[in-house]
Structure 1
Amino acid sequence: MNGAAGATGAATDRTPAGQRLHDLDAVRGFALLGIFVVNITFMASGYPGNLVTDPAYSSLFDDLARGASAVLVDMKFYILFSFLFGYSFTLQMASAERAGAAFRPRMLRRIAGLFILGALHTVFLYGGDILMTYAVVCLILLGMRRVRDRTALRVAGVLYGIVLLSLLTSGLLVDSAAFLPTEAEALVNAEHATSAMLGGWGDVIGHHLSGLPFLVLQSATFQGPTALAMFLLGMVAGRRRLLAGVLGDEPVLRRIQWIGFPVGIAGGLAYALGGGNGEPLAVAVSAATAPLLTAAYVTTLLRVMHSPPWAFVRSALAPAGRTALTNYLGQSLLGLLIFSGVGLGLAGRVSPAGTTGLALLIFAGQLTASAWWLRRHRYGPAEWALRWLTNGARPEKVRTAGVSRPARDR
């Protein structure tokens, strides 16, 4: 391992190990909420996936709810989730080193497990899966795990630059209307998609699989390169343990807030007013500014969690972050049961504000359930199964009485 990679264990810690891990878990839990606020809109209706507004929800209040999500949430939390994946990659490396195990075979088994879970997730629960994309991109990260920090940062910058350039080129030189359905056609497609969501298992699975070509295309052109760029940034941050010694009073946190909020919100407004996902230029503006708003969110959360009156925020979010994979899959399961025809059949019947409120309500339940589960078990169910596959040995499932140890690999 080169000097940069070795920096994973070189920093001097200023906070207890448990608190460091709880900080990381809490940020991951926060990212999980943002991901769900976006995903639930696609679980609830066929209209967002077809880039049109449901005529049943076109009031000013509905437009404001959609606009708020576009400005404050859309595209921000995928970036954060990907960054945290790269950060956790360094924890996996450290875990293998402590165990005296070869890292590459362990990680290849983990990647295979993620891909299998993602495939099952796509077919049966939700067609907008990210696990398969993460698994494929992680193969590249695995091959780059020994590159120097400077190289990783340069590659990340080039990748993200290529994504932005492709969006700008598409917006300026390509007539997207020539490739996209007309609004009338999109409305018909959206109505058919919503009807399929309200059908039986065959219809639901067919609806999920019908979006697979677009999912592959999006992963190849946008989500995949973006994820790899964030993986690399997260890997460098993990090597340098940037989240390990945060006290909450660092001046750099305030500077990030002062820059990130105005620039990020301005970019979100331009994205929302410019047409959202249907307009490449609007997406380019959002992609360019979303990382700044995401960074401002994280620094604000860190400052809040390290303020004594608000320390409970960390305790509330961390269990959900420790069981993020279980919660991510659980969100899709609940979305299926609430909106599809195999459950309550509410697809197309919940307003934009209603879906956001429902996401917050479900996430609050997940916070409670995650805390309850981890008082009795060391890992979430999905984490336990993935750990078994990763390590090639059945992990301890139930906590030892009186012992509360944070898992060190994520």
Structure 2
Amino acid sequence: MRTQRTLSAITDARPPSAAARIASVDALRGFSLLGILVVNIAFLASGYRMAGLAEPAFHSSLDWGVRWAVTLLLENKFYLLFSFLFGYSFTLQLDSAARQGRPFVPMFLRRLAGLFLLGLAHAVLLFPGDILTTYAAVGVALLVLRRITPRTAVLLAAGLTALLALGFVLLALLAMAGHDMSGTVATGAAEAARSDAALGGGIWQIISEHVRKLSLIIMFRVLFQGPAVLAACLIGLAVGKLGALRDLSAHTRALRGLQWAGFTVGLAGAFFSTLSAWNGTVHEFWGEAVDLVTAPLLAAAYGATFLRLLPYMPRIGRALAAPGRMALSNYLAQSLICSLIFTGYGLALVDRVSPPLEILIALGIFVAQVFYSRWWLKRHRYGPVEWWLRYLTYWRRPARAR
């Protein structure tokens, strides 16, 4: 599945006495949150997209142009940015616990337990493409690996990525040998029609459909999504240990290198994988293998470009930092709003909204979240869900007022 979202503000567990937040990191979270919403809304709005097919009711040139653009430029990129920030913020929590003399392991395990419960509820009630449960599992791995050096973290991330790509190469070879690895188009269409009918029904039909989808994709998450998220988190862990994001001016050369690699190799790989997804000119598994290797480069290029431009657009940075500071609350709210629009929870417009209109709806939701987040944070220290998770983490009631 090409969706999957991530949450980085959930990882910022520093107590009130800790050092000030890094504004550029909050802004990057907000930027990533927008990209995730633009990708995920298509999967929230259509059973066909969840089945890996284009919506049959929308086949104009503009519809296909939007599908291609989102797949080429956004899918599998922004959730990697969130994963990177998860790993980066993990190092901030380690440093904070050391400064405060707090036992880090029990606090972090409580946080992961809360994250898992939130993710499970999110997956069952709103969106089976939830990634919070994956982060909860990956967080345990980060806990085990917390003492590794930055070099080891990067090497381990590269090894995980290579193994995942090799797995898809093997699947592609099996498919070329005549094995049916992904089902037929007819089967996919029947699955999509069944999903549409359930999502447009009553509450229990929707929940049952979500649970059924979870049972179908659990192996994918264990074998592929989890290691991919862990690889991105390890890169964030390495960057956090080096303290690179605290002084971006000292790393201009590295940021330029990421831009060159991402906008050349990364875009080329994205084009190849997009062909595999929509044209069928190359086998899908080959496209997935290439995308696993090159999508992190394009995601890094986006992040590097954003961070380099941020000093020249302070108003945009401040606007994006607000939803970034309460990204967990906004992430869950996005699924809730989209469910009210597209499923039987509300308007039941599943597969009735064109891809261009989906993008406009996503932009409208995000703009509303920018204003709401700024309003909320003028009065409160944390987002509403962040407050609850912080309560669980520290096992004491955090202050509500700013």
TM-score, with length taken from structure 2: 0.91
Contact 1:305 1:312 in 2 (8 A): no
Contact 1:44 1:348 in 2 (8 A): yes
Query: Amino acid of the residue matched to residue 286 of structure 1?
Result: D
Determine if the alignment matches structure 1 residue 294 to structure 2 residue 299. yes
The answer for the alignment partner of 1:116 in structure 2 is 117
- Deviation by residue 1:8-45 (Cα, 9 ceiling, x = unmatched): xxxxxxxxx65x61101111111111111111111101
Contact 2:175 2:181 in 1 (8 A): no
**Distance between the aligned counterparts of 1:71 and 1:180, measured in 2?**
22
The answer for the alignment partner of 1:328 in structure 2 is 331
Contact 1:247 1:306 in 2 (8 A): no
Tell me by how many angstroms 1:268 deviates. Answer: 1.3
Determine if the alignment matches structure 1 residue 337 to structure 2 residue 340. yes
**Distance between the aligned counterparts of 1:67 and 1:32, measured in 2?**
20
The answer for the alignment partner of 1:255 in structure 2 is 257
- Counterpart of 2:290 (choices 266, 277, 285) is 285
Residues 385, 250 of structure 1: CA spacing in aligned structure 2 closer, same or farther, 3 A cutoff? same
**Distance between the aligned counterparts of 1:282 and 1:221, measured in 2?**
17
3-state SS of paired residue (1:55): coil
Tell me by how many angstroms 1:154 deviates. Answer: 1.9
The answer for the alignment partner of 2:14 in structure 1 is none
Contact 1:248 1:303 in 2 (8 A): no
Contact 1:196 1:203 in 2 (8 A): yes
- Deviation by residue 1:74-113 (Cα, 9 ceiling, x = unmatched): 1001111111000010111122223221000000000100
Contact 2:203 2:345 in 1 (8 A): yes
**Distance between the aligned counterparts of 1:288 and 1:251, measured in 2?**
22
The answer for the alignment partner of 1:319 in structure 2 is 322
3-state SS of paired residue (2:219): helix
**Distance between the aligned counterparts of 1:248 and 1:239, measured in 2?**
15
The answer for the alignment partner of 1:384 in structure 2 is 387
**Distance between the aligned counterparts of 1:154 and 1:292, measured in 2?**
15
| Cα RMSD, aligned residues only | 1.7
**Distance between the aligned counterparts of 1:393 and 1:34, measured in 2?**
34
The answer for the alignment partner of 2:130 in structure 1 is 129
Query: Between Structure 1 and Structure 2, how many residues are aligned?
Result: 380
The answer for the alignment partner of 1:225 in structure 2 is 227
Residues 118, 249 of structure 1: CA spacing in aligned structure 2 closer, same or farther, 3 A cutoff? closer
**Distance between the aligned counterparts of 1:158 and 1:216, measured in 2?**
23
Contact 1:248 1:304 in 2 (8 A): no
Tell me by how many angstroms 1:213 deviates. Answer: 2.0
**Distance between the aligned counterparts of 2:234 and 2:304, measured in 1?**
20
**Distance between the aligned counterparts of 2:294 and 2:301, measured in 1?**
11
TM-score, with length taken from structure 1: 0.89
Contact 2:171 2:181 in 1 (8 A): no
The answer for the alignment partner of 1:198 in structure 2 is 200
Determine if the alignment matches structure 1 residue 94 to structure 2 residue 99. no
**Distance between the aligned counterparts of 1:214 and 1:93, measured in 2?**
36
**Distance between the aligned counterparts of 2:156 and 2:291, measured in 1?**
21
The answer for the alignment partner of 2:191 in structure 1 is 189
The answer for the alignment partner of 1:32 in structure 2 is 33
Query: Amino acid of the residue matched to residue 126 of structure 2?
Result: L
- Deviation by residue 1:175-206 (Cα, 9 ceiling, x = unmatched): 58613331122112101101111111001101
Tell me by how many angstroms 1:298 deviates. Answer: 0.9
The answer for the alignment partner of 1:9 in structure 2 is none
3-state SS of paired residue (1:275): helix
**Distance between the aligned counterparts of 2:205 and 2:250, measured in 1?**
50
Once the two structures are aligned, what percentage of the paired residues are identical? 46
Contact 2:196 2:351 in 1 (8 A): yes
In the alignment, structure 2 segments of 5+ residues that lack a partner are 1-18
Contact 2:29 2:82 in 1 (8 A): yes
3-state SS of paired residue (1:379): coil
**Distance between the aligned counterparts of 2:182 and 2:298, measured in 1?**
30
Residues 173, 184 of structure 1: CA spacing in aligned structure 2 closer, same or farther, 3 A cutoff? closer
**Distance between the aligned counterparts of 1:151 and 1:293, measured in 2?**
22
The answer for the alignment partner of 2:372 in structure 1 is 369
Contact 2:387 2:398 in 1 (8 A): yes
**Distance between the aligned counterparts of 1:177 and 1:367, measured in 2?**
48
Query: Amino acid of the residue matched to residue 291 of structure 2?
Result: S
The answer for the alignment partner of 2:10 in structure 1 is none
- Deviation by residue 1:285-322 (Cα, 9 ceiling, x = unmatched): 12211111111111111121112xx1112101111111
In the alignment, structure 1 segments of 5+ residues that lack a partner are 1-16, 400-410
**Distance between the aligned counterparts of 1:177 and 1:75, measured in 2?**
26
**Distance between the aligned counterparts of 1:39 and 1:376, measured in 2?**
30
3-state SS of paired residue (1:211): helix
**Distance between the aligned counterparts of 1:263 and 1:178, measured in 2?**
30
**Distance between the aligned counterparts of 2:154 and 2:255, measured in 1?**
21
With 66-75 and 257-266 compared, the bigger mean Cα shift is at 257-266
